[in-house]
Amino acid sequence: MQILTTLLLVLVFGPPAAAETIYVSNEQDNTVAVVDGATMTLQAAIDVGRRPRGMALSVDKKTLFVAEGDDNRIDVVDLAKRQVVGQLPSGADPEFFVVHPDGKRLFVANENDNQVSVVDIAGAKIIGTVDVGVEPEGMAISADGRTVACTSETTSMVHLIDATALELIDNLLVDTRPRAAAFSVDGKQLWVSSEIRGTVTIFDTATRAQTGKIEFEVPGIRREGVQAVGIEMSRDGATAYVALGPANRVAEVDTKTFTVRRLYLVGQRPWHVALSGDQKQLISANGNSGDISFIDLENREVVKSLPVGRGPWGVVIGP
């Protein structure tokens, strides 16, 4: 009987979502929207600097770093207080960055300066720079913390950087206008999305050879309308999620076969996607429609789209 009741509750109200908080950077509102993951409601908007895009949690998950492209800095947001408590230098026009697993450094892509800046968090200063291609954007760091990948939009390359020596290791040519980079969970692959070609190229990190390419097709949408941007890897390593920009879709990709399992219809122009801690929910930040879409991965359906502000870009899920 109890099983029946539970089943009925689940059928009526959907599976209980984890009590997590979703943070969304609104590029045109200069805010970070705070959304309760369980109730799927907007809780607050934190005022931050101008043109916030890339975001990342600190290693202890108590702090959120937000890159402010037009203010040339990174805001430090205290998640308990829900306000900006400090600032870090970032170099010019920071768009995206990653936190080093040691929790002490940020690697920031400076879109206008064609370099990657390394920021010491405790000292709030730039401790090094690495020159890369034109318009660096996507950033990824391997789980072991040794390699940083940076894509440059205009050069159409992914640059591999030694995180300790702060030197370029290699440059790999990718499809036009690469946006995001992501390491596979086992660290053996590097995935790079191309906005113009609408593809994801996969490299073997040991040999640095291209081992696969994923093309996306959305029925009813012309090829130019399908652009690959944000990438998120599932913790079990079996699945990758790719935001398809103006195609208004998020693709679910099998990481073994490099095939698209299914497409989810989300709001307009999703930029980035993020997985909940229990890996059961995927959130997409939809830039043009000003909302985020909640995808229930167990039932394989988009359950809700919630308006969060103008120009949602980055999305991060915290405790």
Partner 1 sequence: MKVDHALRALDGILRREMLRSLRQRARLFSAMVRPLVWLAIFAAGFRSVLGLSITPPYQTYVLYEVYVVPGLAAMMLLFHAMASSLAMVYDREMGSMRLLLTAPLPRWYLLAARLLASVIVGLPLVYLFLFVARFWDVRPPILGYVAVFPALVLSGLMLGAFGLLVSSMSTQMENFAGVMNFVIFPMFFASTALYPIWRLAEAGRVLATIAAWNPFSSAVELIRFALYLRFDMVSMLVVVACLVAFFLAAVTGYDPGRGLWSRRGGEG
Residue selected from 90, 248, 276, 281 as contacting partner 1 according to rule CB under 8 A: 248
Name which of 181, 294, 277 is nearest 230 in CA terms: 181
Q: What's the min distance (Å) between Cβ of 55 and partner 1?
A: 23
Contact between 294 and partner 1 per CB under 8 A: yes
Closer by beta carbon to partner 1, 149 or else 295: 295
Give the interface size with partner 1 as a residue count (CB under 8 A): 18
φ and ψ at residue 303, rounded to 5 degrees: -95, -30
Q: 98 is written with which tokens? A: 């990653």
Burial of 271 (0-12, 13-18, 19+ CB in 10 A): buried
Contact between 19 and partner 1 per CB under 8 A: no
Q: What's the min distance (Å) between Cβ of 122 and partner 1?
A: 42
Supply the Cα-derived Rg of the chain in whole angstroms: 19
Contact between 4 and partner 1 per CB under 8 A: no
Residue selected from 17, 66, 266, 308 as contacting partner 1 according to rule CB under 8 A: 266
Contact between 5 and partner 1 per CB under 8 A: no
**Whether the Cβ atoms of residue 149 and residue 159 lie closer than 8 Å to each other:** yes
Q: What's the min distance (Å) between Cβ of 306 and partner 1?
A: 9
Residue selected from 265, 277, 279, 310 as contacting partner 1 according to rule CB under 8 A: 265
Closer by beta carbon to partner 1, 19 or else 303: 303
Q: 108 is written with which tokens? A: 């920031």
Of 28-36, 134-142, 229-237, 265-273, which part binds partner 1 (CB under 8 A)?
265-273
Closer by beta carbon to partner 1, 70 or else 296: 296
Binding residues among 295-314 for partner 1 as defined by CB under 8 A: 301-305
Residue selected from 87, 211, 234, 268 as contacting partner 1 according to rule CB under 8 A: 268
Say how far apart CA 95 and CA 313 lie, in whole Å.
10
Q: What's the min distance (Å) between Cβ of 43 and partner 1?
A: 18
Q: 259 is written with which tokens? A: 């095939």
Residue selected from 3, 11, 206, 209 as contacting partner 1 according to rule CB under 8 A: 11
What distances in angstroms separate CA 35 from CA 32, 82, 153, 158, one per listed residue?
A: 10, 12, 31, 33
Name which of 81, 36, 74 is nearest 53 in CA terms: 74
DSSP labels, 242-290 = EE-GGG-EEEEEETTTTEEEEEEE-SSSEEEEEE-TTSSEEEEEETTTT
Binding residues among 169-228 for partner 1 as defined by CB under 8 A: 219-221
Q: Which residues sit at the interface with partner 1, rule CB under 8 A?
A: 11-12, 219-221, 248, 265-268, 289, 293-294, 301-305
